[in-house]
Structure 1
């Protein structure tokens, strides 16, 4: 049986999101609006941003032109933000795992009028997740919550 070439992407995404979901489960509701700096994303904002941007990248993988998610109502509280993260985690991971070798090589519209192979977009997705997850880890320490290991294994 030939191994699925997209499975490592899905596994890495689940490892990052799993750790993020574990941290969000430990955050007290009263810290949902906390932001590390003026104008920065709050815990709720970070979760909503990661959920929306991962869906945007899925659209790009499907060949849609990149566009920022339409501004809409954000999550009202941490519970809602956790649920958005949970739902998009499974949706995105399943879509990644379903990609074929041909899909990974296919070029699609990307940022700034460029075209990139789908595999390069997936690398961007994982980097973006890690970037914002690092911010959330620091923010958690600022409010007295000790984050779990940076990825969830097994």
Structure 2
């Protein structure tokens, strides 16, 4: 694990502030989970790592009596790295083949791309103060007589 990521867990946000997280969710019949994970490990994971994606964690959870959601948490250093990885993947026939095979097995799938927001509202991802934006927005509401 990188020092930047370790530092972020200790409260130092300087190294991981722009890190992008990606959550892939694939819902499968329970008996399809092991074959899909083998396929993912052999055919997708090596290329994803080559594109700079770090598989942080993989979970599975039952979503019904015979269905399971597999969730993969990926991280990339920033949004530029995400879009670079996406551009490379778009031109890789192996990636398209992997997702075509996944779609044949999966009941559903989804990808969420997440970028951080400062919990304390001190700085947003652009380095601007969220507190200033909030006070401006509140002032606008008050001048128009609106209330939240």
Shorter-chain TM-score range: 0.3 to 0.5
- Greater helix percent: which structure? 1
Q: TM-score, normalised by structure 2?
A: 0.36
- Greater strand percent: which structure? 2
Higher RCO, 1 vs 2 (CA within 8 Å, ≥6 residues apart): 1
Structure with bigger gyration radius:
2
